């Protein structure tokens, strides 16, 4: 019995739509791109959307279009997929990490506040670093594993300190945040710009792909132009008013995405049912922490992540692998990745909560069509592992106790 970590949910409808693109002969910049952008914007209630070739490309363009300058400081989380920080390096800015909340793994508003109060001072209408005098210009919260960040608090800080908020919602398509007013708002639509990703393991897929959403029309036009070699709406094919990139989404991807976005409701219901079933199976197991639930969050989970006792995670992973169950440790914190250590001198111990999560979090097999018997098998396997673990630790405790007693005096 092999159970993969994830699997895209593709039906005949997707196949039919992609096939019709192939038969049409128009493989890029066609009608599907526009329809897909409109459908996503409608779904998340955003005014504008620009589809791009990946979530990473979308984040890169979001930073460029926001006017981030080389040397600018950008606050973000070390507990994320590396792309959310890499894009800061792409534009020559400096990632300023702050620690995360122990339950959700999301950036902690208190930690942001502490960091700014300690290391930045007000100069004019901006906040600059006490050390190098460079401006703090943006904040990139990441809705980790699909669980919304505390956006009321984050937006408040951003407003007070004049920071642009770029939401990395690449793991949070279909997740809702319930704000102080009780409104249910899609992640990705609470900052200046939001970015979603459609890699095959995400809540919906276009193969490779992503989309940038915003309420700012001018910003969106800039992003569209940047994604298309710097062309503008007015110009001709070989006229490039600015330095751009080729970050376009092709028609096959857009057609695939168009069917997937229409299925979000159905797919989200399936995902949440799988999550509930896991929760029920695992809640009875002592020593395994299931994902957090908060009244401010209605998550459409990206992955199903449990927390294991520190020091035990890799052993559990090996045991599950021996039973054909694929899992993945999420995440190695970004500040501990080689590039970041070398460039910025980040070291272990700087962000203890992120580091602890990095050692305790394990993603279990999770996709829309995971069967009840597969979930039960995973849960049963974890139970067996826990029982063996307790036995083994009991023996070790006895040995230690025995050794202590054997000591003279």
Q: Does residue 210 touch ligand PLP according to CB under 6 A?
A: yes
Q: Residue 197 or 317: which CB sits closer to ligand PLP?
A: 197
Nearer to ligand PLP, 127 or 302 (CB): 302
What is the rounded distance in angstroms from the CA atom of residue 176 to the CA atom of residue 148?
7
Q: What b-and-e string marks burial along 112-138, b requiring 16 or more CB atoms within 10 Å of the CB? A: bbebbeeebeeeeeebbbeeeebbbbb
Q: Nearest approach, Cβ of 34 to ligand PLP (angstroms)?
A: 21
Q: Please, what is the minimum distance in Å from the beta carbon of residue 331 to ligand PLP?
A: 9
Window of 78-86, 123-131, 256-264, 291-299 that interacts with ligand PLP by CB under 6 A: 78-86
Calpha distance 187→137 (Å, rounded): 21
- For ligand PLP, the binding residue among 43, 81, 346, 351 (CB under 6 A) is 81
Query: Which residue in the set 40, 41, 63, 83 belongs to the binding site for ligand PLP (CB under 6 A)?
Result: 83
x-or-dash string of contact with ligand PLP, 17-56, rule CB under 6 A? -------------------------------------xxx
170 scored as a contact of ligand PLP (CB under 6 A): yes
Interface with ligand PLP, residue 188, by CB under 6 A = no
366 close to 303: Cβ distance less than 8 angstroms: yes
Interface with ligand PLP includes 197 (CB under 6 A)? yes
Q: How near is the Cβ of 199 to ligand PLP at its closest, in Å?
A: 4
99 lies in the binding site for ligand PLP (CB under 6 A):
no
Look at residues 241, 276, 289 and name the one whose alpha carbon lies nearest to residue 103.
289
Residue 84 touching ligand PLP (CB under 6 A): yes
CB of 127 to ligand PLP, least distance (A): 25
Asked if 80 touches ligand PLP (CB under 6 A), the answer is: yes
Structure tokens at 288: 């395994």
Q: Please state the length of the chain.
A: 409
- Which stretch, 39-47, 120-128, 167-175, 315-323, contacts ligand PLP (CB under 6 A)? 167-175
Asked if 171 interacts with ligand PLP (CB under 6 A), we say yes
By CB under 6 A, tell whether 196 contacts ligand PLP. no
User: What CA–CA distance (Å, rounded) separates 288 from 282?
Assistant: 7
DSSP result, 109-151: HHHHHHHHHHHEEEETTEEEETTT-PEEEEEE-B-GGGPPP-H
> Which DSSP symbol is given to 383?
H
CB of 177 to ligand PLP, least distance (A): 16
Q: Could you please report the per-residue DSSP string of 173-236?
A: TT-EEE-TT--EEETTSSSSEEEEE--TTSSS--SS-EEEEES-HHHHHHHHHHHBTT--SSS-
Under the criterion CB under 6 A, does residue 187 sit at the interface with ligand PLP?
no
* Among 36-44, 164-172, 258-266, 383-391, the segment contacting ligand PLP (CB under 6 A): 164-172
Spatial separation of the C-alpha atoms in residues 51 and 249, rounded to whole Å: 6
142 near ligand PLP, rule: CB under 6 A:
yes
- In the complex, the smallest distance separating the C-beta of residue 144 from ligand PLP, rounded to whole angstroms, is 7
Confirm or reject binding of residue 6 to ligand PLP (CB under 6 A): no
Q: Kindly state whether residue 340 participates in binding ligand PLP, applying the rule CB under 6 A.
A: no
Does position 72 interact with ligand PLP (CB under 6 A)? The reply is no
**Residue 168 sits in the site that holds ligand PLP (CB under 6 A):** yes
Q: Looking at beta carbons, which residue is closest to ligand PLP?
A: 55
Contact call for residues 210 and 51 (beta carbons, < 8 A): yes
Contact 6, 369 (CB under 8 A): no
Compare residues 90 and 309 and give the one whose CB is closer to ligand PLP. Answer: 90
| Binding footprint of ligand PLP, residue count (CB under 6 A) | 14
Q: How far apart are the first and last CA of the chain?
A: 55
C-beta separation of 165 from 159 below 8 A: no
* 253 near ligand PLP, judged by CB under 6 A: no
Q: Does 199 bind ligand PLP (CB under 6 A)?
A: yes
DSSP annotation string for 229-298? TT--SSS-TT--SS---B-BPBHHHHHHHHHHHHTHHHHHHHHHHHHHHHHHHHHT-TTEEPPP--TTEE
Binding to ligand PLP by residue 106, rule CB under 6 A? no
| Residues in contact with ligand PLP by the rule CB under 6 A | 54-56, 80-81, 83-84, 142, 168, 170-171, 197, 199, 210
């Amino acid at each position: 019995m092999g159970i993969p970590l994830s699997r895209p949910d593709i039906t005949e409808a997707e196949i039919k739509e992609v096939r019709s693109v192939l038969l049409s002969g128009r493989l890029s910049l066609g009608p599907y791109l526009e329809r897909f952008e409109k459908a996503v914007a409608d779904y998340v209630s955003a005014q504008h959307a620009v589809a791009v070739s990946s979530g990473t490309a979308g984040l890169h363009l979001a930073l460029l279009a926001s006017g981030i300058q080389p040397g600018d400081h950008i606050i973000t989380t070390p507990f994320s997929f590396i792309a959310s920080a890499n894009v800061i390096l792409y534009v020559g800015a400096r990632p300023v990490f702050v620690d995360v909340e122990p339950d959700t793994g999301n950036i902690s508003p208190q930690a942001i506040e502490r960091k700014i109060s300690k290391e930045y001072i007000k100069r004019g209408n901006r906040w600059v670093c006490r050390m190098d005098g460079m401006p703090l210009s943006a904040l990139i919260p990441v809705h980790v594993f699909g669980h919304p960040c505390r956006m009321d608090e984050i937006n408040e800080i951003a407003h007070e300190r004049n920071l642009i908020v770029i939401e990395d919602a690449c793991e949070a398509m279909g997740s809702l945040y319930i704000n102080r007013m009780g409104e249910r708002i899609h992640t990705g639509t609470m900052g200046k710009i939001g970015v979603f990703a459609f890699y095959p393991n995400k809540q919906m897929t276009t193969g490779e792909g992503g989309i940038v959403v915003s309420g700012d029309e001018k910003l969106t036009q800039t992003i569209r132009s940047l994604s298309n070699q710097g062309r503008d709406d007015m110009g001709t094919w070989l006229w490039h008013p600015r330095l751009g990139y080729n970050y376009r989404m092709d028609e096959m991807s857009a057609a695939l995405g168009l069917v997937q976005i229409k299925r979000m409701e159905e797919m989200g219901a399936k995902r949440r049912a799988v999550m509930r079933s896991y929760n029920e199976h695992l809640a009875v197991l002592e020593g395994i922490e299931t994902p957090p639930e908060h009244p401010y969050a209605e998550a459409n989970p990206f992955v199903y992540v449990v927390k294991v006792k520190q020091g035990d995670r890799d052993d559990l992973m090996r045991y599950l692998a021996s039973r054909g169950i694929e899992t993945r440790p999420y995440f190695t914190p970004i500040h501990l990745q080689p590039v970041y250590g070398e460039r910025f001198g980040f070291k272990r111990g700087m962000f203890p909560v992120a580091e602890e999560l990095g050692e305790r979090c394990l993603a279990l097999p999770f996709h829309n069509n995971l069967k009840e018997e597969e979930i039960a098998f995973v849960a049963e396997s974890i139970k067996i592992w826990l029982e063996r673990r307790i036995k083994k630790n009991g023996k070790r405790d006895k040995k230690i106790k025995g050794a202590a007693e054997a000591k003279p005096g």
